[in-house]
Structure 1
């Protein structure tokens, strides 16, 4: 089965008119829409697979990497030899770096090829990976609102939707405290601060955050590869630490875990090499008795990749990150949704669902 086409498909889906998310996402008005990059891989036998690269402001760069670097190395190759092909691609392109837009592009093609593999076998991807739960827990991952009153409203909406675990992306203590006050003590709260602090600053913040009772504090340090600093904060800060979204290679995940730097590890399928690499993290984490909580701040194939890998390889502690966005449309329409903090694993072949063609037509851009 030969790869005959690879197409990068950018999407731009605005927030709903009047949505609080539209005016306050990430604390400013600079994100009026959520940009995504889908990748469509076509084979000579008519099978089509879909992947996803990390998006937002990286879409144009990732598309360029797909079109000019990754696709030329894959077209004409055997679609069934996924891991040898992806390894060959990485070796030929490593001089351009092992992370960033290039890694996003490789990830998207890899996910699409695994989608094709499941479709060729007429089985859900989770079964192809060795097993699979039918349903998984998920948590609501909120955008950054900054204003405490907006945080309270978003927290209340997520709880009313049935979530028992919420992720904030807040930096200010007032906003985080407001979330805890609104949620009460029966709801698990996590905070992703996106790598802002030195170790000294993070220790000082941890002293304040301890009283808020967080399930984890995510990516507290700059630079994110300061694994020794994360380990020190984990040892002394009194708050469980999560990280991994910005770790790109299996060797670096080994370093992260060997340093005893995290309580939860968070590989991202659309960033670190797709399913071929993601599936290797689960047994590696198990050696260290660390739960895998995949980063999946997506609503396309990157999300489905995390769902299938977790269903096949995760533990009872593993949860899926569900993006709590108020968008005009979603990539799968009504075919994929959570219910009271649980999500059913799609049981169709491959990833189980293809993107809604109407959404692609309506929100695609060049």
Structure 2
């Protein structure tokens, strides 16, 4: 079974999020659309697999690399030899960098190849990863940044009404965090992702102010995000658990994070760091270092499904799935993967278990 074709499908889907999101997070003024890149891999036997890269402004670069660099090398290769193919392509194109569009593109292709493998075997991906009897997993609502305490209150209350008992904020203002905790009460897990804005000193000062809000973790508090020594210092002195790893790109990056003792929670992002093939290695490495894996899955397509399957097979009882708490105009999988009462279904069909809607792919595809 050989790879016969690789097609990149850029999507742009409008969303609302219970109020205007702060433009500083997503890189565009007034942004209320989600840009994503879905990748369709077809074998010479007609089996189709679906993958996804990280979206937003990263889409054009990943699409160009897949179309012009990765796809020509992958077509004709054995679809079953995922790990060999990924390693061969990493080695061949490492001169272009070990992060960014090349790794993002490989991630999407890898996820699609796992989808193909599951379909060929007649098993869901979580069974290929070691097996699971989970039919659902706990999810946390990952809110946009509002930079407005009243909007935070409204949307925390909305998430609680939807059944979530675990929340993630993206705020950098203390009053917004205070609003969330006051609204949620003491029994709700709240995590805070600040997207790497501060120096080590600033992060420590902010940790002092954030400590009363009993955060489960403080995510990526330090700029640059690869300052693992600085991150370790915030972890040691800030007295709040630290999470990071969304911006790590290779297994070596994760090893360096662990060696620096920089994190309590590690957050590999399957659509950014090599797909499921590399993600399963991070689980093994994290287990050796005694660090909890919390997969980053700020996606709505195959990248999210990859996270769900990995969590089901490898995540254990503490697994939580990140759910992007946006109200999309259209969902690739309809309501099949939308959390109910704070829990997300583990697809049981072969491969990733769900097929993207042909209508959504057609209607929201970005055409050149």
TM range (shorter): over 0.9
> 1:156 & 1:25 partners in 2: Cα distance?
22
Aligned residues between the structures:
364
> 1:332 & 1:130 partners in 2: Cα distance?
25
Aligned to 1:20: 18
Per-residue deviation, 1:102: 1.5
Aligned to 1:95: 95
Task: Indicate how the Cα distance of structure 1 residues 23 and 239 shifts in structure 2: closer, same or farther if over 3 A, else same.
Answer: closer
Secondary structure of the structure 2 residue equivalent to 1:261: coil
For the 8 Å contact 1:242–1:266, the answer to whether it is kept is yes
- 1:169-200 Cα offsets, whole Å, 9 max, x none, are 00111111111111111111100000000100
For the 8 Å contact 1:22–1:29, the answer to whether it is kept is no
Aligned to 1:129: 129
Aligned to 1:227: 228
Aligned to 1:69: 69
Per-residue deviation, 1:136: 1.0
The correspondence of residues 2-21 of structure 1 with structure 2, limited to 5 A, is 2-16=2-16, 20-21=18-19
Per-residue deviation, 1:295: 0.2
Secondary structure of the structure 2 residue equivalent to 1:316: helix
For the 8 Å contact 1:21–1:143, the answer to whether it is kept is no
Per-residue deviation, 1:21: 4.1
For the 8 Å contact 1:291–1:315, the answer to whether it is kept is no
For the 8 Å contact 2:20–2:146, the answer to whether it is kept is no
Per-residue deviation, 1:250: 0.5
Matched, 1:150 2:151: yes
For the 8 Å contact 2:332–2:357, the answer to whether it is kept is yes
For the 8 Å contact 1:254–1:284, the answer to whether it is kept is yes
The correspondence of residues 133-282 of structure 1 with structure 2, limited to 5 A, is 133-282=134-283
Per-residue deviation, 1:26: 5.1
- 1:297-355 Cα offsets, whole Å, 9 max, x none, are 00100000011011111121121101100110111112211111111210000000011
Secondary structure of the structure 2 residue equivalent to 1:38: strand
**Unpaired stretches in structure 2, ≥5 consecutive residues:** none
Secondary structure of the structure 1 residue equivalent to 2:93: helix
**Unpaired stretches in structure 1, ≥5 consecutive residues:** none
Per-residue deviation, 1:30: 2.8
Per-residue deviation, 1:22: 4.7
The correspondence of residues 309-348 of structure 1 with structure 2, limited to 5 A, is 309-348=310-349
C-alpha RMSD of the superposition: 1.2
- 1:233-270 Cα offsets, whole Å, 9 max, x none, are 11110100000000011011011112111110000000
Give the alignment's TM-score, normalised by structure 2.
0.97
> 1:272 & 1:244 partners in 2: Cα distance?
10
For the 8 Å contact 1:21–1:325, the answer to whether it is kept is no
> 1:193 & 1:342 partners in 2: Cα distance?
25
For the 8 Å contact 1:15–1:21, the answer to whether it is kept is no
Per-residue deviation, 1:42: 0.3
Query: Could you list the runs of 4 or more consecutive aligned residues of structure 1 that deviate by over 2 angstroms after TM superposition?
Result: 19-30
Give the alignment's TM-score, normalised by structure 1.
0.97
Aligned to 1:349: 350
Secondary structure of the structure 1 residue equivalent to 2:113: helix
> 1:111 & 1:25 partners in 2: Cα distance?
30
